[in-house]
Structure 1
């Protein structure tokens, strides 16, 4: 009989507090880090995990899910409470079904069918990157051309030989990066992992250190979002960096700096400030050596990106005042990507939210929306912050948040 009682206990559903603790420990986060990022104390997190406090109201629950890197709120509150999950945490773009089909359906084309020339395909890849970085509805534009571009590049990589095949594989890896970016912040984590893996496979098949480095940068984001071990993320970035020749080639130096930036962000996620700053300093040195006027054409590495990611680093380290200081030093105007400018404006808003400066948060979120509305529409922090501020006591903040909530088409908070 005792055994059956133990078995029943093992089958008992986890409580909300147990689920929060599981997610926090999976990420390697301390209670102090989670509390600081949510805007609450370490004791508040402890009270949640031990059951002394119940499930918070939706806006705060959304903030907690974002900090814990939880895609679906049912992972925290259980299957019986799926009501508000996907609509708030991750929204599906209209083009997702077509992109999903392109990634999961195998098109068998005859090897006798002549592939499109690599010299024609490469400019198509470049123009698709331009669509991603341009102002306006970048996800909508990219999703319209991505399926056919993937099909043509996959066929070229299968049928071409020699250097043309290698060039096609490098272009295919870059296009998988675009697919991965398109899929980010959408309810398709399995496709994000799939595109990350395929981009790395194509880069390795091409035997291209530059392509491997770019794939490692994007895989680091995949691993962070999936809660993969911090050590594995840093190891991947540094192994890819070791393949490069940063002292001989500006392209290699940009990618080398990008990978050290990835390591800095990874250390920040687990609260290791000294290591985070050390790796950020290396990325900063790479940007300095490349010069203030340098920006990589599609990876966007350069002075502006390194400075802007200092905001993210300090926000993740729960150093709100340092994050705000970093935000005050950043000049986003020269950055040739509306998408990235919008993302970094959202990160500025996240920094100011740690200081309780709600008017500034709303101002920055509105600026981010004007720069790239689909960046804000699919950003987890932006969605949760707008939902929370729509209940603010200050009328001006509440009115602005309600207006932006309507523009983002967020469902009403019960």
Structure 2
């Protein structure tokens, strides 16, 4: 299916393919036919993932089918001409799991200092929203880190395993952003398998985050909530003497859990996770970026807005969202928050402000806005809702996001 259908139009398309009337489909999710008609005709914005997931379940399609994911990674000077397929090949390399045959690469492991620098470089690029660059560079880094983990021994091997785990985590996180949910799951699973023998709670906890992201991307919100609870219980034994890295990993894990709970319509658990994350941020003492978590009080505030948006509490999102100062955070966090603020303005029928926020976000990180379903669907829905001719700014943005020819 093409990119220029709104989620509501996709619902209508799949509903007809399943031979369901609006009355039947609406009834199966506890809604009215009038509500569904407005969704399919773009008179109501469908941006809450809990509702979209319930429709996907009844229609027996994936969440990504309704969100128009995965999205194409465009070729740029930053990305090169080998992107997701090359990363897929690296993640499904049979020699990695069978230890059979030669890799076709030098078996001399890379210098650990070089490996640390390359890992940090790609994580920093991800936080700068350079998604094409990260996707293009990950296959080579995965190969190098795997060689180091295979060939080194002792403490050096443990460190190499930790770096390989962080590389798999980055792959899972990046692939989630692109909507490549099955590949993200493979990367998260591989990462946990690599770091489990090391026994480092900080690295292990960090990999739990990638599993949570993979669960969220496939709509398994209750599972993500349970994982957050189980992982937090596991990390709790190490928190008394926890340093800033572990505190940041723990807090960020809880933030992801708050979004999962909100998407599962569990407001109480979302508040519980946010409160615990806020306490961890207080112990940390301020905003930081240990192990590329961007964790601190500001990220907690960002997730309060995100959770409110997922729960449909537009008033809370409108009241809090524009007041959060994200200037000190990595670009990825700043733009993700901007998408939430734009959604809140749009839901409040303040489209001019919503568009202004989205245009500013695109100026900061065009790749991130283009690859996130929320930006694409907001713009496409606004186009459909126009009674007259859409503004040149809106049309231009729609074309740059490839939702309008």
TM-score when scaled to structure 1?
Answer: 0.79
1:304 aligns with 2:306: no
* Cα gap change, 1:397 to 1:89, in 2 (>3 Å): farther
Q: How does 1:363-402 map to 2 (within 5 A)?
A: 363-393=356-386, 398-402=391-395
Q: Distance in 2 between matches of 1:235 and 1:267?
A: 11
Q: 1:288 matched to which residue of 2? A: 282
**Which residue among 146, 156, 159 is the counterpart of 1:164?**
156
Cα distance in 1 for residues equivalent to 2:21 and 2:233: 39
Asked whether 1:98 is paired with 2:86, we answer yes
Is the CA contact 2:383–2:394 (under 8 Å) kept in the aligned structure 1? yes
Q: Can you give the 5+ residue segments of structure 1 that lack an aligned partner in the other structure?
A: 1-11, 25-30, 32-41
Q: Say whether 1:242 aligns with 2:247.
A: no
1:154 aligns with 2:154: no
What secondary structure does 1:205 align onto? coil
User: Alpha-carbon deviation of 1:294?
Assistant: 2.9
- CA deviation vs aligned residue, 1:123-152 (integer Å, no higher than 9, x gap): 1101111111226xx112112321110001
Which residue in 2 is equivalent to 1:36? none
Deviation, structure 1 residue 14:
6.0
325 and 165 in structure 1: CA distance in 2 versus 1, 3 angstrom threshold: same
SS of equivalent residue, structure 2 residue 40? coil
Q: Cα 1:165–1:77, aligned 2, differ >3 Å: closer, same or farther?
A: closer
**CA, structure 1 residues 262+74, in 2 after alignment: closer, same or farther (shift >3 Å)?**
closer
Partner of 1:233: 227
The 1-side partners of 2:228 and 2:242 are apart by: 24
Question: Pairwise mapping of residues 104-115 of structure 1 onto structure 2 (< 5 A)?
Answer: 104-107=92-95, 108-109=102-103, 113-115=107-109
Query: In structure 2, which of residues 325, 328, 343 is the aligned counterpart of residue 334 of structure 1?
Result: 328
Partner of 1:175: 167
Q: Distance in 2 between matches of 1:368 and 1:218?
A: 25
Equivalent residue runs for 1:13-412 within 5 Å? 13=18, 15=20, 42-43=31-32, 48=36, 53=37, 56-57=40-41, 63=47, 67-69=51-53, 76=59, 88-94=68-74, 95-107=83-95, 108-109=102-103, 113-134=107-128, 138-228=130-220, 229-230=222-223, 231-245=225-239, 247-335=241-329, 337-393=330-386, 398-412=391-405
> In 2, are the aligned partners of 1:288 and 1:303 still within 8 Å (CA)?
yes
Q: Match of 1:190, SS?
A: helix
Sort the Cα spacing of 1:240 and 1:214 in 2 relative to 1 into closer, same or farther, 3 A.
farther
C-alpha distance in 2 between matches for 1:64 and 1:293: 29
RMSD of aligned residue pairs (Cα, Å) = 3.3
Post-superposition Cα deviations, 1:355-404, rounded to whole Å, max 9, x if no partner, equal 22211211111111111111111101111111011234376964322110
Deviation at 1:219, TM superposition (A): 1.4
Change (3 A) 1:287 1:331: same
- Structure 2 unaligned runs (5+)? 1-16, 75-82, 96-101
Q: Is the 8 A contact 1:311 1:351 kept in 2?
A: no
CA contact (8 A) 1:292 1:302 kept: yes
Secondary structure at 1:341 match in 2: helix
Contact kept in structure 1, 2:248 and 2:295, CA below 8 Å: yes
2:123–2:292 contact (8 Å) kept in structure 1:
yes
| Kept after mapping to 1: 8 A contact 2:245/2:291 | no
* CA contact 1:257–1:286 (8 Å) conserved in 2: yes
Counterparts in 2 of 1:246 and 1:198: CA distance versus 1, 3 Å: farther
Length, aligned pairs only: 371
Local SS of the residue matching 1:333:
coil
* Equivalent residue, structure 1, for 2:99: none
